A = this chain, B = another copy of it.
Amino acid sequence: MITVLIVGTGNVGFHLFNAFSASKTINVTQVSSRKLNDLPKADVTILAVSDDAIVEVSKKIKNSFVVHVSGSKSINELNNKTNKGVFYMLQTFSKEKPIDFNKVPFCLEAQNDDDFKLLENLAKSLGEQIYNINSEKRKVLHVAAVFANNFTNHMYKIAKDICDKHDISFKVLLPLINETSLKINYLDPKESQTGPAIRNDEKTILNHLTLLSENQKEIYKILTKSIQNGN
């Protein structure tokens, strides 16, 4: 039995608590980050708090092994005097939707093998995709995730804005969006690029630009240039 204390009641804390509660090998407790007095002891204390709160919250925790869940913060952001680690789940969470933890990559970091093994067992109780990622690599992964998730989502948003403006249902684009992301599971994105940019189809490109707002035009041009330059 591994005892886990979750500090924080946001999205990540919520889903982690539910998932650990369902596991027979985990004994989990959850507290708000505003109530740090008389914390129960635990094998692992998981700070599921906002990035900016890690320094202050970790300072107040005396438990033996404290980890944060942030993609962008180093392990050294933790200010506890005991052992440190990171339990980063590279996935997008929303409170309304249940998480399929088998589709969550666990990016783990610890200061020694025993602690890593403990985090690994914790992750294995929830899912199966487990990676050893140090703070430097996690930072890189986090910026890559901004492109893969935030910026991709912004492309969807612009596509929807264009449809809305011309009274076209965004629904027409959903199958294409889903297929584009499925392709990535077996085809290198560089190899699977199609469209006017990679074809150097200047006529279509100029035609497209006439339909866009100034902001959309700027983005269209810069991404077209980037695709054409292969960078």
Indicate how many identical chains form the complex.
2
Which of A16-24, A78-86, A114-122, A186-194 touches B?
A186-194
Pick the most buried of A107, A147, A179, A215: most chain B CB atoms within 10 A of its CB.
A147
Main secondary structure of the interface of A (DSSP, over half): helix
Q: CB distance A212 to B150 under 8 Å?
A: no
Q: CB distance B144 to A162 under 8 Å?
A: yes
Q: CB distance B180 to A92 under 8 Å?
A: yes
Distance A165 CA – B187 CA, assembled complex (angstroms): 19
Q: CB distance B173 to A223 under 8 Å?
A: no
Chain A 182-203 interface mask (CB, 8 Å, partner B; 1/0): 1111011110111111100100
Q: CB distance A190 to B157 under 8 Å?
A: yes
Q: Looking at the complex, which one of B150, B180, B193, B211 makes contact with A140 (CB distance below 8 Å)? A: B211
Using CB atoms, name the residue of chain B closest to A172: B105
A-B contacts, 15 of them at CB < 8 A, read: A103-B178, A107-B172, A133-B172, A141-B173, A146-B195, A147-B162, A148-B180, A150-B197, A151-B223, A154-B189, A154-B193, A181-B182, A215-B226, A215-B231, A218-B222
